[in-house]
Structure 1
Amino acid sequence: MDLFTRYLGLPLRNPLVASASPLTSTVRDVRRLADAGIGAIVLPSLFEEQVHREQLRDLLLVEAHEHAFSEATSYFPSTTASEPGGANRYVRLVEQAVSAVDVPVIASLNGSTPGGWPTFAYAMQEAGAAAIELNIYFVPGDPHTSGRQVEDRHVEILERVLAHVSIPVAVKLSPHFSSPGEMAVRLDRTGAHGLVLFNRFLQPDVDPESVTVSPGFALSTPAEAPLARTWVAILHDHVTCSLAASTGVETAADVAAYLLAGADVVMTTSSLLRHGPEHATVLLDGLTDWLTRKGFAGVDEARGWLSVPREVDQAAYERAGYVAALEHARETYGGVTGP
């Protein structure tokens, strides 16, 4: 069975990608994922806050000695000291992971402002990363921030990084735009090589018993997948960049459903955390079995089989689906009117 695919222009042995998680944070586990058959690996994100703290630390160290004897250049502290900060450790992880496996290793940057991303994106490229994933985690808490300002910030970050690297760049999006499709098309036209649908924002909640705010983190479930699948299906024929599906992957059926919708690759974190890196083999074996049973020669044949046709009125198409869902609910649950 031919599982070969391409993502961000990169050749992959199959469409299953291990997305950023604690399981991609060590070389040992990166090797386990590759040995289990995973097609590509996204390393955990280097956070903008880590970069800023490190830059501030180095600046303070230099300024503390700026009035020292001018010819004693060795007196200045090195920015690659024996106790490196998060950014330097991350670059080392990229180098070691790339050397350890024969599948593409994708570095990840997480932040919300243009900041110093380009410099560290370039460092990741030099360390051997096959591509970079921009995880733009921006929740506009200021009620005066307009939707267009949020969108413009995404585009600006992408433009700055693209100007400093030559390797492919993907953007991991949230679904919380007033028009996710327009945002996706705009990023595609700006030069994004891929889009990851979707980011899962943490949702802290209030615990009334402890009178505290709880972190609000939970692994995803297949029930969360329809939203991402819907937008993958809509965008399949409307962007030229790669589409990576993320969220709600637990079984091979979930992988197959994303491919039918039009995903180039399917990313998973939660299933690997629940079952271990070797679960990748289970997913790939199940995908191979499904392709065989359905008569597909490979993933390319199955991809986009159920995507939204480009020529249809997509608003009407979505509306028809909405009405059909309501009719199905009415038939299933009857005229429930409450007590």
Structure 2
Amino acid sequence: MSDITTRYLGFSLQSPLVASASPVCDSVPNIRELEDAGVGAVVLPSLFEEQLELESNALDEDLWRGAESFPESQSVLPDLRNYNLGPDGYLDLIEGAKAAVDIPVIASLNGVSPGGWAEYARLMADAGADAIELNIYSIATEPAESAVEVEKGYVDLVRQIKRTVRVPVAVKLSPFFSAPANIAMRLDDVGANGLVLFNRFYQPDFDIESLEVVPRLTLSHPDELLLRLHWTAILSDHIEADLAITGGVHTATDVVKCIMAGASVAMMASALLQRGIPHATSVLTDLRRWLDEHEYDSVRQMCGSMSRQSVSDPTAFERGNYMRVLSSYAFRSGTLKK
């Protein structure tokens, strides 16, 4: 039987399938079940910067008690009391998970500014987190804020966290950089141990009857994997940090593609939310079958085999392929024919 073990952030994992941050990973029983299903590691749901601010300022209860009296002060703050366990409960979850399972437990911090990140990253590591994933959810809405400033903030934050903790640090990136390869290299240079491609920005919708902007959560679709494969295949030949793909991973075929592009692991959330934790077992069974049928001895054997420098035609990842795709279709009698 083929060996499906891999390495990520310096750890030996029982499989390349990682449960990414979602409600699936918010309890010790679920995390234990994920380990039994064969998942290689778990990323806990993110602890948000806004939660850290509420905690550090001791304003949580007072703020909500006065919500009716001061509506303008509350209108810009989400109700985070019930999102997850909060800062203290989060540390308890880390400790409980580490006591219950042998697979790596990765804590997740979500925010945009240094603030209390460094201190909470240290507390997470002290609680037993094997690694920290920085989910830098930054939406640059101010016209005066330049790309240079945004990118410098990313790099400075990672440098600060690396100086604070001894555990590995992964950075979950947005796909909306002008030069993704450059920011990846700069994060690699300041010590990021892993890069996770890509964050999924949740887009608000318009309620045209109430004239309100409303939140909308849409689970991932396999088509989203293509963008991630593209950049993983390009970056895997240029940086030392491990690569992880998240967003669009639903099947064993998706996992194979991720590894071939050069990722160390494929992260899954939506498929687990839709189909339950036993889906991980099915995916890994199919993965083993595929490896055996295609005569691979191990997952590591095929890692990077479809990266930009490994394929016979690297232009498939470049502008030349764009023109080739367009020219592969012809318009005939009102229809598109291949």
Q: TM-score, normalised by structure 1?
A: 0.88
Alignment of structure 1 residues 13-162 onto 2, 5 Å:
13-57=14-58, 86-162=86-162
- How far off is 1:116 after superposition? 1.1
How many residue pairs align between the two structures? 313
d(CA) in 1 for partners of 2:112 and 2:134? 10
- How far off is 1:58 after superposition? 7.5
Structure 2 equivalent of residue 257 of structure 1: 257
- 1:183-204 Cα offsets, whole Å, 9 max, x none, are 1111111110000000001100
- 1:200-256 Cα offsets, whole Å, 9 max, x none, are 011002122443222121000001110000000001110001000111011111111
d(CA) in 2 for partners of 1:217 and 1:116? 28
d(CA) in 1 for partners of 2:210 and 2:291? 50
Runs of 4+ in 1 over 6 A off after TM superposition: 58-61, 310-316
Structure 1 equivalent of residue 304 of structure 2: 304
Letter of the 2:160 counterpart? R
% identical aligned pairs: 48
- How far off is 1:290 after superposition? 0.9
Q: 1:288 to 1:177 in 2, by over 3 A?
A: same
Structure 1 equivalent of residue 8 of structure 2: 7
Q: Describe the SS at the equivalent of 1:163.
A: helix
- How far off is 1:259 after superposition? 1.0
Confirm or deny: 8 A CA contact 1:238 1:310 kept in the other structure: no
- How far off is 1:324 after superposition? 2.2
Using the TM superposition, name which of 216-225 and 308-317 deviates more.
308-317
Letter of the 1:14 counterpart? S
d(CA) in 2 for partners of 1:276 and 1:218? 17
Uncovered stretches (5+) of structure 2, i.e. residues with no partner: 63-84
Letter of the 2:229 counterpart? R
- How far off is 1:59 after superposition? 11
Is 2:290 the partner of 1:327?
A: no
Confirm or deny: 8 A CA contact 1:4 1:299 kept in the other structure: yes
Q: 1:239 to 1:335 in 2, by over 3 A?
A: farther
Q: Describe the SS at the equivalent of 2:161.
A: helix
Confirm or deny: 8 A CA contact 2:305 2:311 kept in the other structure: no
Q: TM-score, normalised by structure 2?
A: 0.88
Structure 1 equivalent of residue 267 of structure 2: 267
Uncovered stretches (5+) of structure 1, i.e. residues with no partner: 62-84
Using the TM superposition, name which of 184-193 and 317-326 deviates more.
317-326
Letter of the 2:219 counterpart? L
Structure 1 equivalent of residue 82 of structure 2: none
Is 2:221 the partner of 1:217?
A: no
Structure 2 equivalent of residue 166 of structure 1: 166
